[in-house]
Structure 1
Amino acid sequence: MGLDAVNTATAGLRATQASIALVSQNVANAGTAGYVKRTTSPVSQGLNNAGVATGAITRSFDLAALKQLRMETAGSGYTATKADILAQLDTLYGVPGSATALDGVLNGYTQSLQTLAINPTSTAARSSVVDAAQALATKIGSIAQGVQDLRSGIENTLTGQVQDASALLESIARLNVQVQTAGDGGTRAALEDQRDQQINKLAGYMDLRVTNERDGSATVMTASGITLVDRGVAASLSFDGRPTLTANASYDPPETRSVGTLIANMPGGARIALSDDGRLSSGTIAANLELRDTLLPQAQRRLRQEG
């Protein structure tokens, strides 16, 4: 009985030591980005459950809060991207009311026409109309070129973003396998932290739905339901971006598409165009697609109408 008591006490000390070490680890990593608090609960063992052993190490976090974080990350990326490009568009138009802004140049042209209507034989009035018309044409042309440059810049940005997102999908799938085969709870928790960070980064590019499976893997889908990662297998993303876009470059119709298309190349061989309407609704990639295909072309059409 004396030996049993010693063994039980020793096991208890080991369990306590492991718990203290885990608390120290949590404290030391409190400010570490992506680190999730670890917990463990001692479990009974031995004859009549007289002994004790260190329980499994698990991560303690709020799944609903993590889901909300990813949603907000996608929304923030979407909003910030649109705000940045639209601010650049506003700069092209100029400060409303100023003489050099589009509305100011247009008003100058209108006023020159009114002056000419009052005195149609005036050489000075005619010259003023010509000068004002040239100034307006130059302004519209400058803005149109600026808008076109913005679209081409977005096309180049999308190329890099799609490459990054595809690499993240591959990394998440690889981490899924490592989590499933981890030899101990501490290693598994660290791998799950890494995987969460990769998913969070991916959420900045596109809106996601993530399901944690019983086998330890995470299934990653777009919010519209397209599976991008299933256990150790991931779709690859590709984008056939154009070096420059013309004023008439457009996404539709598909058979004459003259801008880049974002494709999810599925493991089974299927190819899904994620850049089609409704496939992505948030994140920086979705914002750039909307700017390239809808908002900036609308600005170009308005410029053509004013010209």
Structure 2
Amino acid sequence: MNTAIIIINWNATDDTLTCIESIKKWIAIPHQIYVVDNNSTHEEKERLFAQEKNFNLLKNKINAGFSGGCNIGIKAALNNGHDAIFLLNNDARIQEKDFNLLLEALISKPDIGVIGPVIYDANTNALLNAGGKNIGWHYISHWRHIADPQDIYEVDYVSGTAFLARGDVFKTIGLFDESYFFSGEVADFCKRIHNYRHPSRSHFKVTIHPQAKAVHDLHVSSAHRGPLYTYYTVRNRYIYIRKFFKVYIPILYPFWIYRHFLHAAISFMNKQKNVTKAVLKGILHGLIGKVGR
């Protein structure tokens, strides 16, 4: 398969270039790297653009978020004939042998639409994510244990940290929903895959390969997330519920309002006022239907 690797950069050029260097060590799997710069600062852009010869650079004039940035890269990759699309966070790493396990599964099992590795902490090697759970129902929306150590298994969604999809899935299901901006768009995409039905083709599966491993540096990602990430994770749950579980809003909204107010209260008692504000703002904007950035 003709693989495109898509990396989003937003004011983290050093991490992006280090990630690219790790991929350049691959020797057997043909691939092209696409870097989408989400309108970083002038200094960050200059350092990234100076390395443009090493990858396909897509320059965004605005910060389109994770969903919008990925969509720019995916469209470019599909237009260039790539039939395997791999999203990789710039603070994550995957070795060629592990990626090859994912790619071989995609090639040998035509019913797999999306597949991801098990993700471990880059510093402690603790298991972080062995597949996603429905974000409308679960506060902790990822598995902390491997469901089947021996064989590929299905999950609600695959983390966008390291996410391999068949190009045909995007052509069939569509791109990421940019209403989310940052957080929730991958869960939404995978939910649309689960919901998709067509009489002329079989159902795409969303899966995890238990033998494939990626690592994620949480120290790096936490430095870029903070209260803003909290805001989007809170707000976007309401978007997701309104889109997929409208009939359950009378049950789910009160539950999540209670759960989020509890989060706000705990952060306030811990003197994390920025987090408290982010949670309360996320509740309000989620309930009134604010979307996008």
TM-score bucket (shorter structure): under 0.3
- TM normalised by structure 1 equals 0.21
Which is higher, the Rg of structure 1 or of structure 2? 1
- TM normalised by structure 2 equals 0.22
